[in-house]
Amino acid sequence: MPVETTLPYGWYTDPEILRGEQDRIFRSAWQYVGHTGQLAQPGYFATRVGRTPVVVTRDRDGVLRAFVNVCRHRGFAIAEGEARRETLQCPYHAWTYGLDGRLRSAPRSDEEPDFPQDELCLVPVAVDTWGPFVFANASPDTAEPLAQALGSLPAQVAEVGLDVETLVHHSRWEAELEANWKIVCENFLECYHCQVAHPAFSEVIDVSPDAYVLSTDGRLSTQHGPLRTASPADELPRAQFHFLWPSLGINIFGGRPNISIGPIVPLTPERTYRFLDYFFGPDVETAWIDDLLAFDDQVGREDRTLVEGVQRGVASGALEHGVLMSHSEQLIGHFQALTAAALSD
Ligand code: FES
Ligand SMILES: [Fe+2]
């Protein structure tokens, strides 16, 4: 069998490729954007889906809505960060919108003949939830239902013994990496590097090829790793790492109820933004949480070195492509096939 090759290395630096990915992949994908705890009261939070700036709101009626975070006047970003308030006011000329997206007032509009106030609503974005997790999609007219996009993910998470409805948000981790978004995804999708590059991780989780199981189901890729030494106190006997194409990562470590979830977001061909929201069961001890965050932070720093090193290699132009290990890197093959198919559509 001929050896499987990676995507062409030019795809990791080419602005044209990224433009195609934004239009053909991210423009129509559901993406995790935040959690319901951010909107326990009427208010909003600003986020993004692909390159679309988005503001998610919850009005007094309790309904979640999302809009393109661009003012209908002259394009300033209306919302920044998050706030508990009943209106969205653009900082540029103070056009004021309701949390339902309707333009409520624009200074001096009474001096304008036939000012079309009713037509200047914020542009809607699709929004939906899975447990406490809020997702948005920048193509509301054509988006498939969120439940369809998630596929077997909720069932697989429930099957390991985790009830997402009971989880409490703990903290958010954020990072920018000097690497193409696909390199960050591909690094997530194999644990062939774990024994070599993550010694602490590999002491806790059995990363040997027989124990560490890879599977795919549609756009979902899953890695299962048993704990090397499970204790009777462990409610979750193994780790589950899910990846929902195009770029959502979900980590569940063994032990106490926990999950971290977040997207991998391209900024430029060679720069990527990530965030992870950490959630824990309501009874998980602070010491266990602190240990997990420290452990994950260590793995994250090791991975940064890896992905930024790969970016320098592929960007050198010295080689056309690399090769994939057919067993250990099968999830990368799956990711690359989905990505190439979306670009050639
Ligand atoms: S750009 Fe928003 S009020 Fe002018
Ligand atoms: Fe890693």
Question: What is the pairing mode between strands 220-226 and 238-244?
Answer: antiparallel
pLDDT at 237: 85
Query: From ligand 2's centre to the CA of 196, what distance in Å?
Result: 10
The encoded tokens of residue 181 equal 């978004």
Residue 84 region, left (φ>0) first, then alpha (ψ -120 to 50), else beta? beta
pLDDT exceeds 80 at position 2: no
CA distance 46 to 34: 9
d(CA 255, CA 263): 24
How far, in Å, is the centroid of ligand 2 from the Cα of 127? 31
Beta bridge partners of 145: none
Decide whether any atom of ligand 1 lies within 6 Å of the 51 Cβ.
no
CATH architecture of 1-28+146-345: Alpha-Beta Complex (3.90)
Helix or strand run (H / E) with residue 235: none
Residue 1 has pLDDT above 70, yes or no: no
Determine whether the shortest distance from the Cβ of 80 to ligand 1 is under 6 A. no
Q: Is 76 in the pocket of ligand 1 (CB under 6 A)?
A: yes
- How confident is the prediction for the chain on average, in pLDDT? 96
Q: Which ligand is nearest to the CA of 76?
A: 1
> Is pLDDT above 80 for 340?
yes
Per-residue pLDDT of 27-52, as tens digits, reads 999 999 999 999 999 999 999 999 99
Sign of the dihedral defined by the CA atoms of residues 232, 233, 236, 237, in that order:
negative
Q: Which atom of ligand 1 is nearest to the CA of 106?
A: 3
Q: What is the pLDDT of residues 272-314, one digit of tens each?
A: 999 999 999 999 999 999 999 999 999 999 999 999 999 999 9
Q: Residues 127, 133: contact at Cβ < 8 Å?
A: no
What number does the ligand 1 atom closest to the CA of 90 have?
Answer: 2
- Output Rg (C-alpha) for the chain, integer angstroms: 22
What share of the chain in percent tops pLDDT 90?
Answer: 93
**Residue 183 vs residue 237, higher pLDDT:** 183
Ordered strands of the 96-98 beta sheet: 87-89, 96-98, 103-105
Q: Among 219, 301, 247, which Cα is nearest to 18's?
A: 247
Question: In which region does residue 162 sit, left (phi positive, over 0), alpha (psi from -120 to 50) or beta (all else)?
Answer: beta
CATH of region 31-142, choose from 1.20.1090.10, 3.30.1330.20, 3.40.640.10, 2.102.10.10: 2.102.10.10
pLDDT in tens, 198-224: 998 999 899 999 999 999 999 999 999
Place of tokens 């308030």: 85
pLDDT at 71: 98
How many Å apart are CA 45 and CA 136, to the nearest integer?
Answer: 12
Kindly list the protein residues that place their beta carbon closer than 5 angstroms to ligand 2, a single-atom ion.
303
- Evaluate whether 152 touches 222 at the Cβ level (below 8 Å): no
pLDDT digits (tens, 9 = 90+) for 104-151: 999 999 999 999 999 999 999 999 999 999 999 999 999 999 999 999
Cα(6)–Cα(85) distance, rounded to whole angstroms?
48
Confidence tier at 234 by pLDDT (50, 70, 90): confident
74 lines ligand 1 (CB under 6 A): yes
Ranges of beta strands (E only) in the chain are 4-5, 31-35, 43-49, 52-58, 64-68, 82-83, 87-89, 96-98, 103-105, 124-130, 133-137, 168-177, 213-217, 220-226, 238-244, 248-252, 258-268, 271-280, 323-324
Average pLDDT over residues 241-257: 97
Q: What is the pLDDT of residues 56-91, one digit of tens each?
A: 999 999 999 999 999 999 999 999 999 999 999 999
Closest residue CA from atom 1 of ligand 1:
74
Contacts of 24 (CB under 8 A, 6+ apart): 342, 343, 345
Confidence class of residue 229 from pLDDT cuts 50, 70 and 90? confident
Q: Which ligand is nearest to the CA of 95?
A: 1
pLDDT tier, 232 (very low <50, low <70, confident <90, very high otherwise): confident
Residue spans of the domains in the chain: they are 1-28+146-345, 31-142
What is the rounded distance in angstroms from the CA atom of residue 226 to the CA atom of residue 145? 33
Rounded to whole angstroms, the Cα distance separating 37 from 39 reads: 5
